[in-house]
Amino acid sequence: MSDFNVEFVPVAKFQPKHPGTRLPMERNGQPTFLLLYGKDSPAFRKVVRAQRKRHVEELSKNRDYIPTDEQAEADALEVLVACTAGWENAAYKGVEEFSPELVKTMYAEQSWLREDVDRYIGDRANFLAPSKAS
């Protein structure tokens, strides 16, 4: 393939793996999926631009401004939440209805999942559209 016109899907289904067994997560015998936007998505770009703008504004007020570790973690969490479009056959602490607030809590409390989602979002191969064979 030599054409630079690569197409991506807007949302990919990610099936997390249990941190201990590395077996794909299931609920009631059915696969559990997180619906994710990739790093080339409008959702990712929007939140990163807003963060950059906040940091530039802070730097303009205080030339010695350096984001704290806590701010860097909060920014990373904000990106992951913005890139999570929903879920299928999932729940957190018994709550089945998806919401950004619940996902934020889940990622904040489950570092293994946060790290797996971050890796998945960062890999463009996960968002490639099926090739169109001639």
Dihedral angle computed from the Cα positions of residues 20, 22, 24 and 29, in that order, rounded to the nearest 10 degrees = -40
User: If DSSP codes are grouped into helix, strand and coil, which group holds residue 26?
Assistant: strand
Domain locations in the chain? Answer: 25-126
Global pTM? 0.89
pLDDT of residue 133: 56
Interatomic CA distance for residues 127 and 121, integer angstroms: 8
Quick count: other Cβ atoms within 10 Å of Cβ 117? 23
3-12, 50-59, 62-71, 112-121: which is most confident: 112-121
